[in-house]
A and B are shown apart, each in its own frame.
Chain A
Amino acid sequence: MTVTAPLPAARPRALTFGNVWLSLALLAVMLLYPFVFGKALNFGVSTLVFAGLAMSWNILGGWAGQLSLGHAAFVGVGAYTMTLLATPERVPAFLGGPVAPWWGALIGMGLAVLLAAVWGALTFRLRGSYFVLSSIAVALVLRLVAINEEFTGGSEGLFMPELPTLFGLDLFDRRVEYGLALAFVALTLLVTHLLRRSRLGYALQAVREDEDGARALGIDPARMKLVAFMLSAALTALGGSLYAVYLQAFEPHTLLELPVSVQIALMAIIGGRASIQGPVIGALLLATFGEVFRTVFASANLLIYGVLILAVTLFAPNGVLGLFRRGGRKLGTAR
């Protein structure tokens, strides 16, 4: 038996809230941003990329309840695949020449799915803390490969080559990048909304709340988590490709480090894992804090992450968005 038509009342407690209107409102704000702060597009693009990454992370970390501190690996897969395939001197000979960045990004997503499938199949037998530890280890091994192997450009990393234009748009124009980053966030929001209404979404919610109960309902928890992992990986890799276009140059020592994974996870957790838009809100909040703190109290700028994460775990386990739970529940139940 599979779950086909769950009743709203049967939706477990600490579940998703925040509805389509909130997502649309957030997107509208982001759409307006360049018209108001047209001169701070670097901040805008990187913040949106990380917002999308946090949303992607949350499909695994929030929906499937599997805390990963290794998502930098997927950012890396996306960034490296796209860049390597677009670089004439590095693209594998059998492809007969550089691959357009959008196809490269798609291939990167495919590779990320493959990696997640293997990684997940091996590690989902591990529960709780063990999965977190394994995610750190896998990401660190990939980092060492990127540093030590020749085909990845080694520790000197890669420079983005010239890219073809997309429908006549220059991919290196910050306004175009902003549009793409916004589309990326919109996509992750859309996927999350669809997921929430899908069979997979209901199954994941059931698994997260009560794994044994879900199994009794005929749900295969390991398979559900695996699908969520693959979805999360694909979106993260897409974000990685976009991030590479934005940076135009990256090294394994800056892209594949543990702090990158931690940063993505913390944005989602601080924003609210159990909500739909929490990760976006967390990313916007932390990025803004980071920028204010950079220019105001230079040295302490990571201190705020520590203080916030501690405050959230102590006082707001459902994240910042969870603080507005009451209002949120109202929004959440609006169909």
Chain B
Amino acid sequence: MRAVQTASLLVALATLTAASAQSTVKVGAVTSLSGRFATFGQMQRAGFQVALDEINARGGVNGSKLELLLEDDASDTNKALNAAERLVNAGVPVVIGAYSSGITKPLSQYMARVKVPLLVATAVDETITKPGNAYTFRVNNQSSIYTRSLIEQLRKMGGMRTAVILTSNDAFGKSVLSDAKKLLPGGGFTVLSQDTYDKGLADFRPLLNRYKSQNPDVVIFASYEEDAVALAKQVKEVGLAPRVIAGIATGFALPEFLRGAGAAAENYLVTMVWNPDVKYPGAQNLYTRLKKALNGEEPSQHAAQSYAAMLAAADAIRRGGTDPEGVRAALAQTKLNTAFGPVSFRTYGGYQNQNSVVGLVTQIQKGQFVTVAPATAARGKVVFPKPR
């Protein structure tokens, strides 16, 4: 009797050991769970988790469970590099990260030096993949996508001739500004004013007054995350009423903007690369799962981007094994269709290993983002001209 017990215990132990020997496949991620970018870090974490659950529910990767080693960079470059080093030491074949472009750039340089691929999910700075390096792959779009899709949409709406642009003075804002300056004249627009502003006390009134006196057809904003609401309020306050007001991603694309700006934001065009109503298969379902992972908070596009990045990482490990070089080779061959949209990494137009992401134009209608362009993804029709 006793012997049987011992034997069964031994069997149980053996199974356990076998299970742990079979062990897990690890993937690393660095994001800002604390510090000033923590909002986005939480979104990223939710995206990773939803993807992880999905992959493991389907049997994991090559028969083993996929495990995420998630490191916090505390919104600090040096800490991100320390975190990445820990992940590399832990033997992960690929790292996803980080949220901000300022942190991602040094990170991409480091990862290329240690020859482990970096999968970028949210950082939009052009220079991350232009020229980029052989070890950096980007799932999300480069910043110029936003501007291109917006100007395409404005051209289609027609009948507008003049525009003003106000952007933040960080890398993102500056590249939006330079893209817009380049592309607007081609779309038949005259640029009446172009300004950048520094983070700080958000008093835009003098600028908005100047725009009001110039009476442009289109006003384009790209702001620091926190300033979008203040901008919308002050536009209303000074009585600036162009035919179209457009916000480029970041703060404008956050659910918090809808809540904070309320009616002041009605009919704004907002560019982003993912929205729950988009016509990709599974998008609505992904939205539900992300919202659950966020304990009921509204997910932003960053969560969906991170979800797609995790799927791409798992897919690359499935095909390329757990060796960084194998994963890198596999990433280059990626062809995925996800609820975030298609993912493949190509080298084109000066970019390297860059996914081609479709830029969406949404319009805020009755307090919701409604995708209005491009036609293949749209659910609603644009309201134009803006009722005065």
Contact = CB atoms under 8 A, between A and B. Distances in A.
Interface string B85-101: 11001000000000001
Interface string B169-206: 11101110000000000000000000010100000000
A248 B110 contact: yes
B264 to A, nearest CB: 28
B85 to A, nearest CB: 4
A83 to B, nearest CB: 12
A294 B169 contact: no
A159 B126 CA distance: 12
Given A159-B127, A299-B34, A301-B34, A253 B102 contact: yes
B84 A42 contact: yes
Interface stretch (A63-71, A147-155, A220-228): A147-155
Contact of B126 (A41, A144, A156): A156
A179 interface: no
A39 B85 contact: yes
Nearest to B101: A251
A90 to B, nearest CB: 14
A249 B174 CA distance: 17
Interface string A235-257: 00000000000011111011000
A114 interface: no
Contacts of A43: 82, 85
Interface SS of A by simple majority: helix
A250 B108 CA distance: 12
B82 A46 contact: yes
A42 B86 CA distance: 9
A305 to B, nearest CB: 12
Interface in B146-185: 169-171, 173-175
Q: Taking each of B35, B83, B105, B127, which has the highest tally of chain A beta carbons within 10 Å of its own beta carbon?
A: B105
B22 interface: no
A256 B330 CA distance: 39
Contacts, number: 94
B106 to A, nearest CB: 4
Q: Taking each of B79, B84, B103, B175, which has the highest tally of chain A beta carbons within 10 Å of its own beta carbon?
A: B79
B23 to A, nearest CB: 21
Contact of B169 (A46, A147, A157): A147
A2 to B, nearest CB: 43
Contacts of A154: 174
A290 interface: yes
A298 interface: yes
A294 B72 contact: yes
Nearest to B103: A254
A33 interface: no
A157 B105 contact: yes
A248 B103 CA distance: 11
A248 B106 CA distance: 6
A298 B171 contact: no
Contacts of A299: 33-35, 38
A160 interface: yes
B106 A42 contact: no
A210 interface: no
B212 to A, nearest CB: 25
B169 A155 contact: yes
Interface SS of B by simple majority: helix
B219 interface: no
A155 B167 CA distance: 12
A126 interface: no
A301 B105 contact: no
A253 B198 CA distance: 10
B254 interface: no
Nearest to B38: A299
A247 B77 contact: yes
A299 B85 CA distance: 20
A156 B171 contact: yes
B227 interface: no
Contacts of B73: 294
A206 B5 CA distance: 83
B78 interface: yes
B171 A157 contact: yes
A172 interface: yes
A291 interface: yes
A40 interface: yes
B171 A253 contact: yes
Given A148-B169, A298-B33, A298-B34, A156 B78 contact: no
B74 interface: yes
Nearest to A291: B82
Interface in A1-57: 39-43, 46
Nearest to A250: B106
A159 B79 CA distance: 19
Contacts of B85: 39-43
Nearest to A38: B89
Q: Taking each of A39, A159, A249, which has the highest tally of chain B beta carbons within 10 Å of its own beta carbon?
A: A249
Contacts of A295: 71-72
A244 B198 CA distance: 24
A156 B86 CA distance: 28
A42 B83 CA distance: 9
B153 to A, nearest CB: 26
Interface in B297-324: none
13 contacts: A39-B89, A40-B85, A41-B85, A42-B84, A42-B85, A43-B85, A159-B105, A290-B74, A294-B73, A298-B33, A298-B34, A299-B35, A301-B35
Given A40-B89, A250-B106, A294-B82, 4 more contacts: A156-B127, A172-B113, A298-B74, A299-B33
Q: List the 3 closest pairs (A to B, CB-CB), nearest first.
A: A248-B109, A249-B105, A299-B34
